[in-house]
Amino acid sequence: MSKYPLIVRAVEWVDGKVRWINTNLLPYEELYEESQDHERIARAIESMEIRGAPAIGVAAALAIAATALKFSNINSVDELKDIISKAIERLRRTRPTAFNLFWALNRISNVLSRNYSSVEALRKAIVDEALSIYHEDIETNIKIGEIGEKLIDDGDTILTHCNAGALATAAFGTALGVIRAAWYNGKKIKVIATETRPVLQGARLTVWELKKEGIPVTLVTDNMVGYIMYKGLVNKVIVGADRILLDGFVINKIGTYSIAIIAKRHGVPFYVAAPTSTIDPVSSINDIVIEERNANEVRYIMNKMLITMPDVDVLNPAFDVTPPELVTSIITEKGIIEPPFRENIMKILSL
């Protein structure tokens, strides 16, 4: 049992089904969706009902467990392995950038590659692994919070981007987990949240989470960051990550790179909080696929209000890359990683 309240569970396992909060719709805590169907869950990931790297990984693992239970009258191990392999392949194609998705599905694939004496034994092994991924996510986030909060001082004003909170994980959050742990350990902090165009995760989700717990939060538009740092209104930045490379490149929500440059210019520490499951130990920067999302996310506000000419050309990369020289340190559940990143990340991953 955590000493911190878990205000909301973005993704959970209820009676053999995956239950999630549709983060596209308010009020978030009342609009649960539920399914045992991996195709429905894949679409929920694509449409960002479920979003945030750790939450996507957990949802994909639980989707596979639900699939294993759904096909209850399978007679052979090979038949169930075949169904599960196809579901894994479908889920792999949902979003290309967040590493936790591939990490979680690889863990399930490893379970699949072993030998089983019965369908039941295979089914149990899949469900056990998925549930471990789910529970580990919550424990990991709390550890990140407790380790990271030591970097926070009473009176800090912390800028965060996008939503690396409870709604981006199974519960608690990564960057917001650090903020939460500092708050519950009595530090009087304030948060500045960027709205995070075009999908507005900062305005919609981060503000909602922090206000729910009474943590002081001020909303700014993305283009105000230079001004507020110039005015000395921020003394730390903490963001999450969708993928971290061994060299310390951080792939995170579009806009993160600009914030890191501005922070460097003004001597503001730039921290990244993420589980080690976000660290991609094999890819190099040229291998990374930055997801390009639908142009209408930019042309319209939340699919509703058209704010430009309907046929204008649009760029809509969902993520950008922050180079290691702009990163002060990376907060993980195994400790704080400082430069030189390659050496220290390899140490922490025991590579």
Shortest spacing between CB 137 and ligand MRU, in angstroms: 11
Tokens at 338, concatenated? 């400082």
Is 242 assigned a catalytic role?
A: yes
Between CA 110 and CA 343 the distance in angstroms is 27
Shortest spacing between CB 161 and ligand MRU, in angstroms: 7
CB neighbours of 119 closer than 8 A, spacing ≥ 6? Answer: 74, 75, 76, 77, 79, 80
231 among annotated binding-site residues: no
Shortest spacing between CB 48 and ligand MRU, in angstroms: 6
Shortest spacing between CB 292 and ligand MRU, in angstroms: 12
Q: What string of H, E and C letters represents the secondary structure of 233-298?
A: CCCEEEECCCEEECCCCEEEECCHHHHHHHHHHCCCCEEEECCHHHEECCCCHHHCCCCECCCHHH
According to DSSP, the β-strands at 319-322 and 243-245 are unpaired
253 among annotated binding-site residues: yes
SS3 state at 230: helix
Q: Which of 137, 156, 242, 280 is catalytic?
A: 242
52 among annotated binding-site residues: yes
**Chain residue at closest Cβ approach to ligand MRU:** 240
Between CA 226 and CA 213 the distance in angstroms is 28
255 among annotated binding-site residues: no
Shortest spacing between CB 196 and ligand MRU, in angstroms: 8
The residues binding ligand MRU (CB under 6 A) are 48, 51-54, 162-164, 168, 174, 201, 239-242, 252-253, 318
114 among annotated binding-site residues: no
The residue among 64 and 237 lying less far from ligand MRU, judged by its C-beta, is: 237
Helix 38-46 vs helix 77-92: crossing angle, to nearest 10 = 10
Between CA 57 and CA 241 the distance in angstroms is 13
53 among annotated binding-site residues: yes
345 phi, psi to nearest 5 deg: -65, -45
Question: Taking the alpha carbons of 192, 269, 292, 309 in that order, is the dihedral positive or negative?
Answer: positive
The residue among 50 and 65 lying less far from ligand MRU, judged by its C-beta, is: 50
187 among annotated binding-site residues: no
The residue among 87 and 241 lying less far from ligand MRU, judged by its C-beta, is: 241
In DSSP terms, 182 is beta-bridged to none
The residue among 47 and 223 lying less far from ligand MRU, judged by its C-beta, is: 47
The residue among 123 and 293 lying less far from ligand MRU, judged by its C-beta, is: 293
- What residues form the annotated binding site for substrate? 51-53, 95, 201, 252-253
- What residues form the annotated binding site? 51-53, 95, 201, 252-253
Known catalytic residues? 242
